[in-house]
Amino acid sequence: MASNEEILAGLAEIVNEETGLAPESVEMDKSFTDDLDIDSISMMTIVVNAEEKFGVRIPDEEVKNLKTVGDAVNFISGAQA
Amino acid sequence: MPRKVVITGLGATTPIGGDVPTMWANSLKGVSGARAIEADWVEKYELPVTFAAQIATPASEVLSRVEAKRMDPSTQFAVVASREAWRDSGIEDIDRDRLAVAFATGIGGVWTLLDAWDTLREKGPRRVLPMTVPMLMPNGPAAAVSLDLGARAGAHTPVSACASGTEALHQGLELIRSGKADVVMCGGAEAAIHPMPIAAFASMQALSRRNDEPELASRPYDTGRDGFVMGEGAGALVIEAEEHALARGARIYAELAGTSVTADAYHITAPDPEGLGATRALKAALFDARAQAEDVVHVNAHATSTPVGDKPEYTALKAALGHHLDQVAVSATKSQTGHLLGASGAVEAIMTVLALHERTMPVTINLDDQDPEIPLDVVTAPRELPAGDLVALSNSFGFGGHNAVIVLRSS
């Protein structure tokens, strides 16, 4: 079980790998599209990599609800519980 | 008279140099780009051919990690070469609605396709990444170059196997002559040094098996030739309406004076032994360029180093140029670079452009015992070209019976 801080750090690493954004710019209140400029193809890549890293399943219909980094951290945290 | 079209920018990443100046210098030095492949898959699959001509400078040294991640290697090579050509052209401000792309490939994103297939089988469909389709599609290189340059007058992908790169120049010339564009980034890219294409080309007995002497394996016109050597990389040429180039005071390398594309309709892989399709392409390209056979001083031949392929090209040259062929010096670039498949025509066009511009013909290596049935004047050491107006040709032929010829005129 990972803490929210650990999930955020892991997610930041995945976002950095995919987009080159600095890990510290990946903060809880940041919007994936408006703040981080992540397109749908990168978002799906991030989702699939997050599933593998955290051992969870993020259904396709759930992805559109993950507007901010915090939404994703909370979803992964809940899915791990 | 159709619009005159000139070449104003060159870029390349090849087995004998990661850029055009390095490639040209290594060519004159007689360097071979072929060597043993250092990858575990050579032994793992017990490949019958264990060497190739891999690019001299990995794309990862030129592109950022994130850029490279979203591109198949063939597209990476295309972007590396086209950026060099664009810088070299000196174009700064241009109407991007008048800038087109004609960037060819023979095979397309074969690494991406087969990696994704492995992922599907090993990890399931969820792990097949969403960038897979744009990375494997054969128009990937043209699309990426269009995006990179903001080229909006169309992005085209001629696909005609090993004639593709030359056909891109044909298409580019047509785009400018017809008034659809003023500038076209033309080129070809290939990245197929992967165990599956090696197995497939080896299976059709097309590849040299000279595993113990890779550097000696690509030997066009030599009696000891036993097949081609797989190469990879990209070549890119900025072609431009002459009035557009003159208006911006551009350096002009040469004129792209004429082109032609024909089809053999003879056999899916075997060249027509009489070279009829190639002869028609040569004659039509000269006609298109308003040039006579007697104007030609230099040919950069397709010459892949296969036992059956090199001779029909000679037959076609003889038929198209007649007795004047005795006055023509021929270079076979694949002796150094290996066969870059869909990129070969673009790289060899650059070599031909430089031959005219530098007034020096590049070399053919490994010609120890010339096939008596191919009595061409082959350039084996750098040879000077005289001053004055000169015409040179570059030929490419592809599986499927594709023949493509370009005619270049010195400027």
Q: What is the DSSP letter of B259?
A: E
| CB proximity list for B365: less than 8 A, separation 6 or greater | B30, B32, B218, B219, B335, B336, B380
Gap from A38 CA to chain B (nearest CA, Å)? 13
Domain that holds residue A29: 4-80
Point out the residues of B that are catalytic: 162, 302, 339
pTM, entire model: 0.96
What pLDDT was estimated at residue B273? Answer: 87
> Are B407 and B391 within 8 A, CB to CB?
yes
* B64 contacts A51? CB cut-off 8 A: no
Whether B124 has its CB under 8 Å from any CB of chain A: the answer is no
Is the pLDDT score of B1 beyond 80? no
Q: Collapsing DSSP states into helix, strand and coil, what is residue B13? A: strand
* B129 contacts A48? CB cut-off 8 A: yes
> Are A73 and A14 within 8 A, CB to CB?
no
What pLDDT was estimated at residue B292? Answer: 97
Q: What is the DSSP letter of B394?
A: E
Q: What is the pLDDT of residues B235-264, one digit of tens each?
A: 999 999 999 999 999 999 999 999 999 999
Whether B65 has its CB under 8 Å from any CB of chain A: the answer is yes
SS3 per residue for B323-342: HHHHHCEEECCHHHHCECHH
What pLDDT was estimated at residue B2? Answer: 85
Gap from B63 CA to chain A (nearest CA, Å)? 13
Q: What is the pLDDT of residues B187-201, one digit of tens each?
A: 999 999 999 999 999
**Domain containing residue A18: CATH number:** 1.10.1200.10
Amino acid identity for residue B251 in this structure? R
Whether A81 has its CB under 8 Å from any CB of chain B: the answer is no
Predicted confidence band of residue B404 (pLDDT cuts 50, 70, 90): very high
The CA distances from residue B234 to B19, B54, B80, B179, B339, in Å, are 10, 11, 8, 27, 11
> Are B8 and B245 within 8 A, CB to CB?
yes
Runs of H (alpha helix) within B124-218: 132-136, 140-149, 164-177, 195-203
Whether A45 has its CB under 8 Å from any CB of chain B: the answer is yes
Q: What is the pLDDT of residues B10-59, one digit of tens each?
A: 999 999 999 999 999 999 999 999 999 999 999 999 999 999 999 999 99
Whether A44 has its CB under 8 Å from any CB of chain B: the answer is yes
What pLDDT was estimated at residue B271? Answer: 86
* Residue range B332-349: mean pLDDT, rounded: 98
* Residue range B394-408: mean pLDDT, rounded: 97
Q: What is the pLDDT of residues B129-188, one digit of tens each?
A: 999 999 999 999 999 999 999 999 999 999 999 999 999 999 999 999 999 999 999 999
CA distance B411 to B404: 23
Task: Name the closest residue on chain B to residue A41, using Cα atoms.
Answer: B130
**Count of H helices and E strands in chain B?**
14, 15
Is the pLDDT score of A81 beyond 90? no
CA B385 centroid distance within chain: 23
Runs of H (alpha helix) within A1-81: 4-19, 40-54, 60-63, 69-80
* B126 contacts A18? CB cut-off 8 A: no
What pLDDT was estimated at residue B156? Answer: 98
Phi and psi for B263 in degrees, rounded to 5? Answer: -125, 140
Mean pLDDT of chain B: 97
Q: Which two tokens stand for residue A47?
A: 């989702």
Gap from B184 CA to chain A (nearest CA, Å)? 29
Domain count, chain A: 1
Strand partners, B386: none
